[in-house]
Structures are given as structure tokens and as C-alpha cells.
């Protein structure tokens, strides 16, 4: 029915569906970003912290203080400050850090690859482990395998990442010596890899620096596994429940009656259908990791977005906080869009409706 | 059934096994000193602006000033870029003779013009530490007449009053007095900024090391300066890695991935004490811990209450158990190592005495106050210990935790009852602390100068006059006596419960020798560090 209505609409000159969709998407995006920036901006002004103090320090004379106050534009009314910020942002200028006077865009471009690399390896580990574990738990519902997966998931859910991180460092780095310690790369390799993408795994591989590549791997493996463990906990739980739902459907019974091999039923029929909502779960987990996991980055001395944002926030460096928030917003919206797109690919019903 | 997970599992194992190196080498290169420190306070590398601990230390190893002092005995002042100096008979100026043949790391010679440029630049840029120089009556308008080159090798520094020469000399040892390569800075000048925007992240000095790179919150890389006038540093490189977490620093140190851990907590220090590969070093630093009692509060403004509170802190126990060697008990506003320091510690926990004093003040049952507490582990623990002992005499303290900037904002606005603070001297002269603890020229809300005495609304015209007189005393012995007298009075009557002096503690690998822990951060030196 709906299909027909759409077709009729298009025939009689109403905007085509894709235009309508794009338009509403852009409006939603604009409103999301505006809201995001406004709220962050206001929070930055409401917190009882004097941003001038962070810039000039506790010892500065009144004249130095006043000068910085005006330089930061704090003498202007709030709406004007926000308007100036928005105008600049429209031209791609995220402004300068209050503290270091460095361009925020430059700063973020420097710290973001570290987070991107860590989060990507993390989500790959999380998905590769979480998905089969969830399927296993669903298939063996109520049996030992299921209980094990659930306990593992529960630990992942409830153990503080900070503590787990330190423990992992103590065992795998300090005691066993299997992996390298905190940081992204050893000092010895620090300058042997030229950073083009900022993703050290890719940079070192592209330059054929295999020694450095191994070093980067041995640095990233522990924090990424830790992050992977946390997303694994979430992904396996969700996979389990989606799979249980699918396995109870009538089409599965039909398939079984028809004599389709069990592995095909699970991995092709059921998982294919469970995969649709799972895409969102994985995308959201990924987005969470990309926000920069503050505690993991602190324990592993990982110079990423999470550390950058925390530090900026503590110093009331609001330009930097706004810039970081914007990047996170873009990531969230981008990944949501991506999972929408994947939906269309995976689910023929969505494709047809679109 | 379920073949696929097995394949997955096998693939994952293969992946991990293939990628993880069999053994990870944990050793720093022999010609590189690697330190772990929380370097997130670095906001600039320009000597005209630097005022933070870490950046001060970085500059102390990469720039040179006109003069320096012996870190073992700070009263021993010697020339660095200046060969000698002469105070004018009227005391209104000092002439510095510039040493010949010295070079910046760039290869440019160090000249009298560079000295004039650097001091003038710092005053005209007027950043946070500029007051260290402007307090001698210099400002952006008159500095061109006040700091002048009198001949090719001589620079004259003029002042508005005949200040104690040691005060001027010590101020010039601060990082704001470090000499910048004029030619290099001006090549990078934009819109008359004296190269400020460039120098914030760059380097134009003449010290033992050059600053190769600073990546905020990540790393500072320094390299040996081949044009250094002194003895070449044994280390080719010195690297600061930003490791914010203290237990991570400990692991790295134990494993040998760093040579020195700079932010060990009390627990880490204790845990490392038995490790034969690690040596714990410490040195007294200038910062003092104190309670500031606002005189706007009706209870805290009573003299007996102020006195009573000084008997309600268990100084020694806090130093021994909570801070475990990271502080030493100290009760006067001048830190140990300063001219005229008062080393007596007349106060200890004495609840009976405190109760008597409270009764005399008319509050025998105590009262309620709040204390703004920075939420760092050390400050929080000290505050809680104080809260307990104060309660023994009926003083009920409510702790208001907040982040550093937040509590400071409130303190500076005089909106606190009690503030637990830490104050470090800005330069090596007693005036730096007297100026803030014992001077309050104007107690009104819109005062131009807002020292700690002002923040606590303590009106002290007589003590201010005494502190002002001490600044002009040319005789060092007499000056020391003046400061002693001020501190004795201050110790008893002031609304400051001064409790401890900082001790900087660091853990180093036993094979790393020669790191000097000086009284201020720009005195910390790794110029002579060697590795065996």
C-alpha cells in the first residue's frame, strides 16, 4: 500500500522521496549540531570556573588578567560570544585553544588518529569475539557455554576499566613481558616512522617498517583488547538475545523440518536476520570507543581524544571542549548514518520501503 | 554443528600469536634520558610566559639567564651570561657585563642586544610572570629607557627605587629573565609580537639542551646543544613522556622503560623502597601548604580562634603517614633555604590548649565552617585529617571538594571560609612570599593587587610597611633579621595555618646518576646525567 502511495505522490510532482529524505536529514543534522554546541557552550559558561585563570595563572597581575579577559572575548554578552563562535565554525575554524593558542583543528587532527586506531582495533576484537560467543550462548541456551559467556559478559560490564587496565598491565606487561607498556610506540622507533595518516599501524606498514609495526602492535594490543573486551560483553549479550529471538521464529522450525543443516540454520538463516539490529549495536559500541575512553587513555598514557577533552575541561579551555564535542557529534551522526545505510543493504524490507 | 566459531577461534589465536612479538625489550637507549611526568600543565615554552613547574624545568635545562646561584647554597650567586655586575652607588641601577664568545644553539652570538631584547620583550608582552620584572618600576612605556645597552658588552638595568640588590639578582634568575635569541625570534615575528606565537612552541635559547619538539599531553623531546658554552651534556637526548597515572609510572620504572618517574605517590614510593634497581631521590622544594582563614568569617576573625586552630593540626602525623615523606613540617611563610627563614615550629596538636583559646574567644563549644578542598588525593587526605582533629575541640568543618580551577576561582573571589592551599615562591628571594603572605596594601574589593593576605581579608598596614622596608634594605644580614621578625609575628597572629613544606620525590633507575634536584623547578637539572 505504502509503496503505491509513494509512487502516486512522485507522479504528481511532490518532491521525490530521496530529496525529501536528504532535506530532512540535513535539517536534523543542523539542529543536532546546533543543540549540541549550544548546550556545551552554556555548560562551559555556567561552571563556576574562571577560564581567564587557566590562561594567566594564579599569580598574574590585574592588568594581565584584564587583558586576557578581553582577548578571550569574555567581555561581550553571552549570545554574541556564541554567535561569533558559530560564524567561525561555519568557515571550518574551530578557534584556538585558550591555553596553548594552538588551532583546535590542528590539535584534534593530532590526537584523533590515536583514538581512531585504538577504537578500531578494539571494535574488531570485540566483534570478532563477541559475535560468535553470543551465537554460541544462544544455541547452547542454559548450558555451561551459555553461563560462561554470560559471566564473562557480566565481568566485562561491571569491572571498572581503570582497575582492569592496571591489572592487565601488571600481568601482561610487568610480569609476563608479553606486550609493550603504556604509550603508542617505543622511543627507539619514535622518529623512524613518518606520520602521514597518524595511524601508526598503517603508517609503519606503508613504509615497510616492520620492526616498528610489531612495536606498535605490541603497544596497542593490550588497551585494544581491554576496550574490545568491553564491547565484546555488550555485543555478545545483544547477539545472544537477538539470536534467541530469531531461533524461536517459525521459519527456523520450517527450515529444520526441511532438513537444512543446523550450522546453516544458525549462521545463515538466523544470524542474517539478527544481523540487522546488531549493526546498530556494533556502530554504537564503536562510537562509544571513538569518543575516547578517558580512563583507558589515562592508564595506558594514550595521547587520544579522551585525554585531550578531559584535560581541556579541567582547564576550562572551552574552545577545545567545544571542538572535541563537535567531533564526537559528527562521529555519532556519521556512524548512525552508516548503520542506516547498512540496514538498507542487509534488510530487503527497508530497501523496498526506501 | 558450530564449525564456524572454531575457525574464528583458531584464526584469532593465529592472529594474536603472529602479531605479538615474542619478547618485548624494555630498556631505554643508553644516550637518552627518559622521564615520566604529568606534563599537562605545559601551556607555553616562551620564557616570557612560562610559569608552570614542568615548563620551568624544561627551560632551566635549555635556556640561560644573566646570573645563577648554587643550588646547594642559594646565597652564592654567580654570573652565567653576565661575566660580572656592578650596583650603582645610588642603588638605582645594576650594570651587567656580558661574557664574550657565548653562542645560542642557533649559532648566533649572545650579545648585549639579546639581553636588552629579552628583558624588554618580557615586559612588553606582559604575560603572567612579567610582574617579577615590572615590580622594579618598569613597564611597557618606560622599559626602553630602563633597560639599555651602555656599550657593546654592557647592559644597564634601572629601577625606580634602590631595591635590595639580592632581590633584583634573584628575580633575574627566574625563567622570565632567561635570554632569548633576538635574531631567531624576530625572524618569526608576526604583527609586532616579538615572535611570541612562534616561541610558544619553539626554541631560541642557549642552554645545555635544545627543545626539539613538544606535543601537548604527549611528549617533550630535548636534544644536546652542540653550541653550549658549558660542559657538553653526556646524554644526547632527554625525553619527557606524559604519563598521568602514578601507578603506570611505577610499572614503567620497574620495567626499565623509563629512567626516572617524577610523580610517584606515597604508596608507590613505599612499594619501590625495597627494589634494588630503583633509588628514591628527594629534595626540598619551596612550596608551602597552608590553611587560609577568611577574616570575613565572624569566628575565624577572632585572634584566639586563629591561634587555637594552629593547635588543632596534627602536623607530624600527617607528614609521616599521609604524605609519607613528601612534605616536612614547616610553620613560617618563608620556605627553608631562603634568606631569613624562621625554622621554629612552635605548634603541635594540643586540644586542651585549643579549647582554652576557644573559650577565651567566647566560643567554648566551637562553631561550624566550610573548607574548600581541591580534589587531589593529597589535599583531600590532609583536609580530612584536619577535619578530624579540629572536631576534637568542637570546630565542625564541612569539606567542599572541587577541582583546582573551581576552588581557586572561589578563593580569589574571597567567597571561602577556609581554603587549603599550596603556595610556591616565584623566585629565590624572601620578598616573593612576604609579598603575598605579609602584605596587603589595599583590602578593598577592587584592590589593584590581590595577595593571599587580601584573599583572606586580613588588613595589616603595619606589617605591610615592615615588608616594604625589607625590600629596600641593602645589607643582607639586616634584611634577614627583618624577615625573621615579620615571620615571628606572622606565625602567631596571621590567619594562615602554615603546615608543611614540599619535598619533591622521584624514583630513578639505579644506573642513572647525576640528576640535580634544586630548590625551584628551573633548578632541577639533568645536564650532568649519566647512565652506567
Query: Poorest-confidence range of A214-228, A296-310, B57-71, B201-215?
Result: A296-310
Any idea which of A18-32, A120-134, B145-159, B287-301 has the lowest mean pLDDT?
Answer: A18-32
- State how far the Cα of B382 lies from the Cα of B394, in Å rounded to an integer: 19
Instruction: Tell me which residue in B23, B251, B450 faces A174 most closely, judged by beta carbons.
Output: B251
Chain A interface includes B153 (CB < 8 A): no
pLDDT, residue A10, reads 44
What does the pLDDT read at residue B155?
97
Give the whole-angstrom CA distance, residue B369 versus residue B308: 14
The answer, as to whether pTM is greater than 0.90, is no
Chain A neighbors of B8, CB-CB under 8 A: 128, 132
Lowest mean pLDDT among B3-12, B203-212, B281-290, B447-456: B3-12
| pLDDT-based confidence at residue B528 (cuts at 50, 70, 90) | very high
Check residue B16 and give its pLDDT: 44
Interface test with B, best of A48, A170, A189 (most B CBs within 10 A): A48
Query: What's the confidence (pLDDT) of residue B15?
Result: 45
CB contacts of B1 in chain A (<8 Å) are: 139, 262-263, 266
Question: Per residue in B380-398, pLDDT tens?
Answer: 999 999 999 999 999 999 9
Q: Decide if pLDDT at A228 tops 70.
A: yes
User: CA angle, B183 as apex, B196 and B526 as ends, to 5°?
Assistant: 70
The DSSP output letter for A16 is P
The reported pLDDT for the residue numbered A13 is: 61
The answer to whether residue A3 scores a pLDDT higher than 60 is no
B216 and A100 within 8 Å at the Cβ level: the answer is yes
CB B278 within 8 A of CB B508: yes
Q: Between the CA of residue A16 and those of A19, B313, B498, what are the distances in Å?
A: 5, 77, 76
Instruction: Tell me whether B129 touches chain A (CB under 8 Å).
Output: yes
The more confident residue out of A247 and B119 is: B119
Is A208's Cβ below 8 Å from some Cβ in B? no
pLDDT over 70, % of chain A: 94
pLDDT over 90 (residue A249): no
The whole-angstrom separation of Cα B31 and Cα B234 is: 7
Residue A2 has pLDDT above 60, yes or no: no
Is residue B292 within 8 A of residue B453, CB to CB? The reply is no
Q: Which of B126, B134, B426 sits opposite A59 (nearest CB)?
A: B426
Looking at residue B42, what is its pLDDT? 85
Per-residue pLDDT band at A4 (split at 50, 70, 90): very low
> What is the structure's pLDDT at B3?
43
Residue A352 pLDDT level (bands cut at 50, 70, 90)? low
Q: How many beta-carbon pairs under 8 angstroms link A with B?
A: 166
Report the percent of chain A where pLDDT is more than 90: 14
pLDDT confidence bin for A1, thresholds 50/70/90:
very low
Q: Which residues of chain A does B39 touch, with a Cβ-Cβ cutoff of 8 Å? A: none
**Residue B45 and residue B43: Cα distance in Å, rounded?**
7
Taking CA–CA distances from A181, the nearest residue in chain B reads: B252
Q: How far is B304 from chain A (nearest CA, A)?
A: 30
Mutate to test the interface with A, among B409, B437, B449 (most CBs of A within 10 A): B409
pLDDT over 70 percentage in chain B: 95
Q: Is A97 helix (H, G, I), strand (E, B) or coil?
A: coil
Per-residue pLDDT at A236 exceeds 60: yes
- Interchain proximity B406–A48, CB inside 8 Å: yes
pLDDT of residue A12: 54
pLDDT tens for B338-391 read 999 999 999 999 999 999 999 999 999 999 999 999 888 889 999 999 999 999
Which residues lie closer than 8 Å to B17 by C-beta, 6 or more apart?
none
| CB spacing of B408 vs A59 below 8 angstroms | no
What confidence score (pLDDT) does residue B20 get? 46
* Confidence check: pLDDT of A32 > 90: no
Residues of B in contact with A111 (CB under 8 A): 217
Q: Which residues of B touch A201 (CB under 8 A)?
A: none
Predicted pLDDT at A343: 78
Residues A327 and A325: their CA atoms lie apart, in Å, by: 5
Which position has the higher pLDDT, A189 or B99?
B99
CB contact under 8 A, B51 and A64: no
Q: What pLDDT, on a 0 to 100 scale, did the predictor assign at position B5?
A: 43
Q: For residues A324 and A109, what is the distance between their CA atoms, to the nearest angstrom?
A: 10
Over 60: is that where the pLDDT of B24 sits?
no
Q: Closest approach of chain A CAs to the CA of B127, in angstroms? A: 6
Compute the average pLDDT of residues B290-310. 96
The model's pLDDT over B396-426, given as tens digits with 9 standing for 90+, comes to 999 999 877 788 889 988 999 999 999 989 9
Q: Does A301 touch chain B (CB under 8 A)?
A: yes
Three-class SS state of A182: coil
What three-state secondary structure class fits B375?
coil
Neighbours of B112 (CB within 10 A): 20
* Top-confidence residue, A292 or B68: B68
Confidence grade of residue B11 (pLDDT, cut at 50, 70, 90): very low
Q: Check residue A292 and give its pLDDT.
A: 63
User: Where does the pLDDT of residue B41 fall: very low under 50, low under 70, confident under 90, or very high at 90 and above?
Assistant: confident
Residue of A187, A198, A226, A318 to mutate, testing the B interface (most B Cβ within 10 Å of its Cβ): A187
pLDDT given for residue B26 in this prediction? 52
Amino acid at each position: 500500500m505504502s509503496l503505491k502511495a509513494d509512487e502516486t505522490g512522485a507522479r504528481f510532482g511532490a518532491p521525490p522521496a530521496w530529496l525529501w529524505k536528504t532535506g530532512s536529514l540535513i535539517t536534523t543534522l543542523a539542529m543536532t549540531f546546533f543543540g549540541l554546541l549550544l548546550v556545551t557552550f552554556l555548560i562551559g559558561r555556567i561552571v563556576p570556573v574562571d577560564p581567564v585563570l587557566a590562561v594567566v595563572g594564579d599569580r598574574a597581575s590585574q592588568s594581565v588578567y584584564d587583558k586576557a579577559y578581553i582577548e578571550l572575548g569574555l567581555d561581550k554578552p553571552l549570545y554574541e560570544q556564541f554567535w561569533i563562535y558559530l560564524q567561525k565554525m561555519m568557515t571550518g575554524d574551530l578557534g584556538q585553544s585558550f591555553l596553548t593558542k594552538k588551532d583546535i583543528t590542528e590539535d584534534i587532527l593530532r590526537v584523533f588518529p590515536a583514538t581512531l586506531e585504538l577504537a578500531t582495533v578494539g571494535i574488531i576484537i570485540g566483534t570478532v569475539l563477541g559475535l560468535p560467543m553470543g551465537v554460541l550462548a544462544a544455541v547452547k541456551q542454559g548450558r555451561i557455554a551459555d553461563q560462561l559467556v554470560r559471566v564473562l559478559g557480566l565481568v566485562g560490564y561491571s569491572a571498572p576499566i581503570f582497575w582492569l587496565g592496571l591489572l592487565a598491565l601488571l600481568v601482561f606487561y610487568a610480569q609476563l613481558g608479553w606486550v609493550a607498556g603504556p604509550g603508542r610506540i617505543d622511543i627507539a622507533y619514535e622518529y623512524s616512522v613518518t606520520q602521514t595518516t597518524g595511524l601508526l599501524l598503517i603508517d609503519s606498514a606503508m613504509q615497510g617498517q616492520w620492526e616498528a609495526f610489531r612495536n606498535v602492535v605490541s603497544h596497542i594490543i593490550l588497551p585494544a583488547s581491554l576496550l574490545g573486551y568491553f564491547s565484546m560483553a555488550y555485543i555478545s549479550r545483544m547477539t545472544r538475545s537477538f539470536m534467541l529471538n530469531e531461533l524461536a521464529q517459525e521459519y527456523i522450525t520450517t527450515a529444520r523440518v526441511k532438513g537444512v543443516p543446523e550450522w546453516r540454520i544458525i549462521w545463515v538463516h538466523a544470524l542474517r536476520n539478527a544481523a540487522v539490529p546488531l549493526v546498530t549495536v556494533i556502530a554504537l559500541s564503536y562510537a562509544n570507543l571513538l569518543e575516547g575512553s578517558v580512563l583507558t587513555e589515562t592508564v595506558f598514557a594514550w595521547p587520544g581524544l579522551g585525554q585531550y577533552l578531559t584535560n581541556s575541561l579541567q582547564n576550562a579551555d572551552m574552545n577545545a571542549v567545544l571542538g572535541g564535542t563537535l567531533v564526537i557529534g559528527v562521529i555519532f551522526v556519521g556512524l548512525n548514518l552508516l548503520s542506516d545505510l547498512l540496514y538498507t543493504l542487509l534488510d530487503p524490507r527497508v530497501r523496498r520501503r526506501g | 554443528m558450530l564449525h564456524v566459531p572454531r575457525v574464528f577461534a583458531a584464526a584469532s589465536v593465529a592472529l594474536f600469536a603472529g602479531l605479538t612479538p615474542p619478547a618485548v625489550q624494555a630498556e631505554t637507549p643508553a644516550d637518552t634520558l627518559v622521564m615520566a611526568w604529568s606534563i599537562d600543565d605545559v601551556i607555553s615554552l616562551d620564557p616570557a610566559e612560562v610559569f608552570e613547574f614542568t615548563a620551568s624545568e624544561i627551560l632551566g635545562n635549555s635556556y640561560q639567564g644573566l646570573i645563577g646561584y648554587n643550588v646547594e647554597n642559594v646565597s652564592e650567586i654567580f654570573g652565567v651570561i653576565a661575566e660580572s655586575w656592578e650596583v650603582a652607588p645610588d642603588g638605582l641601577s645594576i650594570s651587567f657585563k656580558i661574557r664574550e664568545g657565548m653562542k645560542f644553539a642557533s649559532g648566533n652570538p649572545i650579545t648585549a642586544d639579546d639581553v636588552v631584547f629579552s628583558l624588554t620583550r618580557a615586559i612588553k608582552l606582559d604575560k603572567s610572570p612579567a610582574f617579577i620584572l615590572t615590580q622594579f618600576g618598569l613597564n611597557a612605556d618606560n622599559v626602553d629607557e630602563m633597560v639599555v645597552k651602555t656599550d657593546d658588552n654592557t647592559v644597564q638595568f634601572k629601577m625606580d627605587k634602590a631595591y635590595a640588590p639580592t632581590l633584583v639578582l634573584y628575580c633575574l634568575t627566574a625563567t622570565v629573565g632567561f635570554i632569548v635569541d633576538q635574531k631567531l625570534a624576530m625572524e618569526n615575528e608576526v604583527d609586532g609580537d616579538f615572535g611570541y606565537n612562534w616561541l610558544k612552541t619553539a626554541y631560541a635559547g642557549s642552554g645545555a639542551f635544545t627543545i626539539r619538539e613538544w606535543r601537548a599531553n604527549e611528549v617533550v623531546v630535548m636534544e644536546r646543544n652542540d653550541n653550549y658554552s658549558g660542559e657538553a651534556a653526556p646524554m644526547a637526548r632527554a625525553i619527557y613522556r606524559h604519563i598521568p597515572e602514578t601507578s603506570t609510572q611505577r610499572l614503567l620504572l620497574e620495567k626499565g622503560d623509563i629512567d626516572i618517574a617524577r610523580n610517584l605517590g606515597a604508596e608507590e614510593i613505599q612499594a619501590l623502597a625495597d627494589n634494588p634497581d630503583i633509588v628514591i631521590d628527594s629534595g626540598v622544594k619551596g612550596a608551602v601548604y597552608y590553611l587560609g582563614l577568611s577574616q570575613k568569617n565572624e569566628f575565624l576573625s577572632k585572634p584566639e580562634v586563629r591561634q587555637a586552630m594552629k593547635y588543632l593540626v596534627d602536623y607530624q602525623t600527617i607528614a609521616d603517614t599521609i604524605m609519607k615523606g613528601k612534605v616536612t613540617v614547616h610553620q613560617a611563610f618563608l620556605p627553608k633555604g631562603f634568606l631569613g627563614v624562621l625554622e621554629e615550629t612552635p605548634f603541635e596538636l594540643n586540644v586542651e590548649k585549643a579549647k582554652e583559646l576557644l573559650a577565651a574567644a567566647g566560643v567554648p563549644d566551637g562553631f561550624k565552617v566550610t573548607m574548600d578542598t581541591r580534589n587531589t588525593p593529597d589535599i583531600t587526605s590532609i583536609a580530612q585529617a584536619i577535619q578530624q582533629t579540629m572536631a576534637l575541640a568542637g570546630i565542625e568543618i564541612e569539606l567542599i571538594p572541587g577541582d583546582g580551577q573551581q576552588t581557586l576561582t572561589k578563593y580569589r573571589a574571597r567567597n571561602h571560609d577556609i581554603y587549603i592551599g599550596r603556595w610556591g615562591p616565584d623566585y629565590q628571594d624572601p620578598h616573593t612570599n612576604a609579598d603575598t603572605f605579609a602584605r596587603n596594601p589595599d583590602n578593598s574589593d577592587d584592590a589593584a593587587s590581590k595577595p593571599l593576605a587580601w584573599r583572606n581579608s586580613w588588613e595589616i598596614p603595619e606589617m605591610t610597611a615592615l615588608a616594604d622596608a625589607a625590600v629596600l634594605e641593602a645589607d643582607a644580614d639586616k634584611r634577614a633579621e627583618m624577615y625573621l621578625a615579620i615571620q615571628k609575628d606572622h606565625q602567631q597572629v596571621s590567619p594562615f595555618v602554615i603546615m608543611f613544606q614540599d619535598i619533591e620525590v622521584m624514583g630513578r633507575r639505579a644506573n642513572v646518576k647525576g640528576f640535580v634536584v634544586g630548590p625551584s623547578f628551573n633548578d632541577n637539572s639533568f645536564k650532568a646525567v649519566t647512565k652506567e
